[in-house]
Amino acid sequence: MTAQAPLTSLRVLGRISVAFLLDIIRTGRMDREFLDGLITLAIVQANVTPLASDPALQRAYADYESLPPDELRRPVSVSAVAQSLKLPYETVRRRVAAMARGGGFELTPQGVYVTGEMLNNPAHKAVMIANHDLIRDFYLRLRRLGALDEVAAIAAPDGPAAQPVRAVARVSSDYVLRITDVICVQVGDLVRGLVLLDIIRANTEHLPDDERGTDLGGPASFVPDELRRPVTVAALSTRLQVPHETVRRHVARLVEDRLCQKTPDGLLVPAHVLARENFVRLMAENHMHVRRMFAALARLGVTAPWEQLAQDRRATA
């Protein structure tokens, strides 16, 4: 898959990426509410900004036992978190204050940071391992489709010796925040955008990877609507673990904005919506960010053992 990927490739990558994004968010939220999980992710990512531009530090603090010390973590203002997620300041302030009362967050005059205690315990370690495995499986699936050949070519062989779950989490969190920013721009609201993505996922998750439509452009080139499976508000509420009334309210707005439609069997995002220029642009931006994420992991040497695993699977297929 090149920078100028054909529409069929962008489309199947988009389907796989939607499932991956929602799974990553669900895994990382632990037992927190939906928005609290995303706010926590944004805070943690901002706290470790000094590591992002330093490959040596990324490698040094790659595995779970290597927790970055406090001096390498920077507090972030509530205002900056709200801006990064395009959420109202008061919503973020209220939720951060509530989470801080529960422990794990430290509020300082310079901003908020997640404490080492919260980032170093068995439950958190299990989440980091699950996150690592989701990203590895995402990589292997895309490699089977030939979507990351250029990334595989830059894989560094001298990556971290231990399982680099912290490095993987930092790089994947950057992807999540970049994509949620794109979704906010396109849909206008973070939660509404993720509800829309879950409708798309439910409509298409049964489709095989070789069901891609054509590259001709326009609604007729997309997977026909009769192959999509509608989803109910109740099912979306369960899938996202978001209150039914919250989902119903966002769905009503999506229908009003003609981003999805109601059918006798549930909600559907039809081909003529997905064929709009802004959605095709979103797929292209996702393609760029996926490649960026895996290129960063390849340069750290993280993907080298995944490449060996891919070769082993091809040899036994």
Task: Tell me the pLDDT band of 188, cut-offs 50, 70 and 90.
Answer: confident
Q: Is 39 helix (H, G, I), strand (E, B) or coil?
A: helix
Does the pLDDT at position 2 exceed 60? no
Does the pLDDT at position 312 exceed 90? no
> Measuring CA to CA, which residue among 16, 18, 12, 11 is closest to residue 199?
18
Instruction: Yes or no: say if 95 and 200 are a contact pair by the CB < 8 Å rule.
Output: no
Task: Tell me the pLDDT band of 207, cut-offs 50, 70 and 90.
Answer: very high
β pairing state of 111-114 and 261-263: unpaired
Q: Which of 55-69, 149-163, 173-187, 256-270 has the highest mean pLDDT?
A: 256-270
Non-local (6+) Cβ contacts of 207 within 8 A are 15, 223, 227
Task: Tell me the pLDDT band of 317, cut-offs 50, 70 and 90.
Answer: low
For residue 155, the model assigns a pLDDT of: 65
CA distance 217 to 221: 5
Within the chain, residue ranges assigned H as helices are 7-28, 34-47, 49-52, 55-60, 78-85, 89-101, 122-144, 149-152, 165-187, 190-204, 233-240, 244-256, 271-274, 277-299, 304-316
272-306 pLDDT, tens per residue? Answer: 999 999 999 999 999 999 999 999 999 888 998 88
For residue 1, the model assigns a pLDDT of: 42
Percent of the chain with pLDDT over 90: 68
* Domain boundary assignment for the chain: 7-186+277-308
* Range 187-209 average pLDDT: 94
Does the pLDDT at position 24 exceed 60? yes
Q: Is 217 helix (H, G, I), strand (E, B) or coil?
A: coil
Give 15 or 313, the one with higher predicted confidence. Answer: 15
